Amino acid sequence: MKKIITFIKEAQEELKKVSWLSREQTVKYTGIVIGVSLAVALFLGVLDLLFSNGVGQFIV
C-alpha cells in the first residue's frame, strides 16, 4: 500500500512540472486537428468515389 501512495505523490509532483497549454492554444489546436481531419476525410472520400466509379466502368 505504501508503494501506491508513494507513486501517487510522485505523479502529482511530476504533473506540477508539466507546461500546460492555455485555453486559447487548446481551442486553436483543436480546431486545426478537426479541420485537417475533415480535409483528409473529404480527400479520401473523393478518391474512393473516383476509384469505385473507375473500377465499376471496367467491370460493367
**pLDDT tens-digit series, residues 22-55:** 999 999 999 999 999 999 999 999 999 999 988 8
Cα(42)–Cα(16) distance, integer angstroms: 40
Please name the amino acid found at residue 40.
Answer: V
Q: pLDDT at residue 12 above 90? A: yes
Whether 50 is covered by a domain: the verdict is yes
Whether 58 is covered by a domain: the verdict is yes
Whether 9 is covered by a domain: the verdict is no
Whether 6 is covered by a domain: the verdict is no
CA distances to 4, 19, 33, 34 from 25, in Å: 34, 12, 12, 14
Which set of grid coordinates corresponds to residue 47? 478518391
Q: pLDDT at residue 56 above 80? A: no
Whether 37 is covered by a domain: the verdict is yes
What pLDDT does residue 55 have? Answer: 83
CB atoms within 10 A of CB 37: 10
Whether 4 is covered by a domain: the verdict is no
Q: pLDDT at residue 57 above 90? A: no
Print the domain residue range for 26. 20-60
* pTM of the model as a whole: 0.65
